[in-house]
């Protein structure tokens, strides 16, 4: 009987310990801790963890309990234990361990459920859901009409989780977010494409963008006079082209923080020209929502249209002429980007030149003297549509607003320039359309070899219930001309703006727009007016029929990839069938 009483006493002591009580019933932990004289440390741990008993605490305590029970029960024979089993209401130690393990699993599941939060948004809207995020947030399930993409349509800050533009999901916040979860990625994400592969080591999405264009420039004037009094000929086109083929592969490798974006890009109207087919891309690593480090080829953040909205513009792959005239283009470089606050973002980039496509490494100087910076602020809703697009296809039910600022500097060399009809051209031109590097342009025997380019832009926009009004102002400075006999060339300052308005006549189906831009400079002024419509044939962005009329006056920019030519005066018309998934 002494052995039996000793065994009973040892088990009762263990069963009353707060550790085991918490394992069987986590909600009872607070009361149990107060009943045990030596639980002050445990009370402090309880307060620090806000009353949540972690699995690790339970396991450590359970092992301690088992060890104590085993020590007190030494000397009890197996036969005596079996003979007296009926007298003992408590289970044996082995069964207690199994039961506690099951209860610990249940406690873990309960902790996950307690930290699971549903957060939903409508298309064109942003919603904030307050929750403690100090230990991280995990997307457990995406349920909305729009893909939930971290940093684009959902994210979190110190006060909670935000979702926007139709993203709705279930999220796990707090310590439970650290539990390993396996979420099946979406099979299709707009503008990212279809999922080809997903595994523990990586992910691959494939996307295809292409469009067929009918272009008619025959109503334009066949000649124009440049700012120096020289008569020039305009080649008037009427043709049908499979205009562009763009096939990117994107995803991550080893960790979702290390991402790649690699593509093949072909411009059929540029057949035979340098860089008619381009293989390019970039690599990036996201440290957190504030800092992403990237390297490779990307667009300089020189104007709003180079921030990453392509191809979600009002027209199909054609910017306003003022935007095309002032902007920088694609180049190799390194960059940092991320959030400043929940409603503001930045990007800073150092690159080789203003436009590298069609330019070999041997044509570049060795100065890395191209810098570009961007900041944007989204004051009302914290977003401006999917990928920050032009127009209000998203049908914002709350007024969405945007303010942005850009600055770019580059020391451009004559031999670093792409061909005039390159696949993605950003020649430095005067406001009459002349390239500043043209020999004898500024007079006989004068040739510019280098020029210092600086450009800034300010943009603003508002969207509400399918209506949008968006504008941008530009200023460019060209100075420090070097070369043969360039001492007499004065610094050049040019200004311009664009203004775009649009309306969704039939939600998700029919959009109309009216836009205009002007350019002002020493060598002439230019302007354009355009009107167009987008018919979304399947009721979504991936397939649209676009028709656009443009009236040009002294157009100072153009090449085969855009519908307008240098020197264009008069009317042109083009129709585009666009595929983008």
CA dihedral 107, 110, 112, 116 (to 10 degrees): -170
Distance, CA of 264 to CA of 297 (rounded, Å): 12
Is there a contact between 74 and 93 (Cβ–Cβ < 8 Å)?
A: no
Give pLDDT, residue 360. Answer: 79
User: Quick one: angle between helices 55-72 and 2-15, nearest 10?
Assistant: 170
Distance, CA of 100 to CA of 60 (rounded, Å): 12
Is there a contact between 335 and 352 (Cβ–Cβ < 8 Å)?
A: no
The residue ranges of every structural domain in the chain are: 2-112, 116-183, 189-580
Distance, CA of 51 to CA of 30 (rounded, Å): 7
Tell me how far CA of residue 31 lies from CA of 18, 27, 65, 441, in angstroms.
9, 9, 19, 89
Q: How many residues does the chain have?
A: 581
Confidence grade of residue 324 (pLDDT, cut at 50, 70, 90)? very high
Model confidence over 80-133: pLDDT tens digits?
334 433 334 333 333 333 334 444 444 444 544 557 889 988 776 778 898 888
Give pLDDT, residue 275. Answer: 55
What is the mean pLDDT of the segment spanning 491-501?
Answer: 97
Is there a contact between 503 and 355 (Cβ–Cβ < 8 Å)?
A: no
Give pLDDT, residue 526. Answer: 97
Is there a contact between 562 and 188 (Cβ–Cβ < 8 Å)?
A: no
HSE toward the beta carbon, residue 300, CA cutoff 13 A = 31
What is the mean pLDDT of the segment spanning 362-370?
Answer: 85
Model confidence over 37-76: pLDDT tens digits?
333 433 443 444 443 334 334 344 434 444 444 443 434 3
Is there a contact between 351 and 422 (Cβ–Cβ < 8 Å)?
A: no
**Spacing of C-alpha 17 from chain mean position:** 52
Give pLDDT, residue 146. Answer: 75
CATH number of this structure's domain 189-580, picked from the four choices 3.10.20.30, 1.10.760.10, 2.40.160.10, 3.40.640.10: 2.40.160.10
What is the mean pLDDT of the segment spanning 509-533?
Answer: 97
Is there a contact between 282 and 300 (Cβ–Cβ < 8 Å)?
A: no
The whole-chain average pLDDT of the chain stands at 80
What is the mean pLDDT of the segment spanning 393-399?
Answer: 92
Is pLDDT at 158 greater than 50 in this prediction? yes
């Amino acid at each position: 009987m002494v052995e039996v009483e000793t065994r009973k006493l040892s088990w009762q002591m263990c069963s009353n310990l707060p550790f085991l009580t918490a394992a069987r019933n986590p909600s009872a932990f607070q009361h149990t801790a107060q009943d045990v004289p030596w639980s002050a440390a445990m009370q402090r741990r309880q307060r620090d963890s806000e009353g949540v008993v972690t699995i690790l605490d339970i396991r450590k305590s359970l092992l301690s309990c088992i060890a104590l029970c085993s020590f007190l029960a030494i000397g009890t024979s197996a036969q005596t234990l079996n003979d007296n089993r009926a007298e003992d209401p408590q289970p044996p130690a082995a069964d207690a361990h199994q039961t506690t393990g099951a209860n610990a699993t249940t406690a873990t599941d309960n902790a996950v459920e307690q930290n699971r939060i549903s957060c939903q948004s409508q298309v064109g809207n942003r919603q904030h859901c307050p929750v403690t995020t100090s230990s991280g947030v995990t997307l457990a399930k995406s349920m909305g009409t729009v893909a939930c993409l971290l940093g684009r349509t959902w994210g979190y800050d110190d006060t909670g989780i935000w979702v926007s533009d139709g993203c709705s999901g279930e999220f796990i916040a707090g310590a439970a977010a650290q539990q390993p979860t396996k979420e099946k990625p979406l099979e299709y994400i707009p503008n990212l494409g279809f999922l080809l592969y997903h595994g523990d080591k990586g992910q691959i999405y494939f996307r295809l963008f292409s469009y067929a264009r009918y272009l008619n420039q025959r109503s334009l004037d066949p000649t124009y006079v440049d700012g120096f009094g020289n008569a020039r000929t305009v080649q008037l086109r009427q043709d049908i082209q499979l205009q562009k083929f763009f096939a990117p592969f994107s995803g991550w490798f080893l960790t979702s923080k290390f991402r790649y974006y690699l593509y093949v890009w072909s411009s059929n109207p540029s057949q035979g020209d340098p860089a008619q087919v381009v293989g390019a891309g970039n690599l990036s690593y996201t440290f957190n929502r504030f800092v992403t480090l990237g390297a490779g080829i990307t667009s300089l953040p020189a104007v709003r249209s180079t921030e990453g909205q392509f191809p979600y513009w009002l027209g199909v792959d054609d910017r306003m002429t003022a935007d095309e005239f002032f902007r920088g283009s694609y180049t190799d470089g390194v960059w940092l980007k991320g959030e400043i606050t929940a409603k503001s973002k930045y990007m800073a980039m150092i690159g080789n030149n203003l436009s590298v496509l069609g330019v070999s490494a041997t044509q570049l100087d060795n100065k890395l003297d191209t810098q570009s910076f961007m900041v944007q602020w989204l004051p009302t809703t914290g977003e401006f549509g999917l990928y920050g697009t032009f127009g209000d296809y998203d049908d914002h039910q709350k007024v969405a607003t945007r303010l942005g600022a850009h600055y770019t500097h580059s020391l451009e060399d004559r031999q670093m320039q792409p061909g005039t009809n390159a696949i993605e051209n950003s020649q430095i031109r005067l406001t009459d359309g002349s390239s500043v590097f043209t020999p004898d342009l500024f007079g006989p025997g004068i040739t510019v070899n280098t020029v210092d380019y600086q450009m800034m832009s300010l943009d603003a926009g508002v969207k509400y219930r399918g209506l949008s009004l968006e504008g941008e102002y530009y200023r460019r400075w060209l100075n420090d001309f070097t070369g043969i006999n360039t001492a007499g060339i004065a610094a050049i300052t040019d200004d311009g703006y664009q203004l775009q308005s649009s309306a969704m006549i039939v939600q998700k189906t029919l959009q109309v727009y009216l836009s205009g831009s002007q350019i002002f400079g020493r060598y002439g002024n230019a302007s354009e007016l355009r009107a167009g419509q987008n018919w979304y044939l399947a009721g979504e962005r991936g397939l649209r029929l676009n028709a656009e009329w443009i009236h040009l006056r002294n157009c100072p920019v153009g090449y085969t990839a855009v519908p307008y030519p240098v020197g264009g005066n008069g009317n042109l018309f083009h129709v585009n069938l666009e595929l983008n998934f």
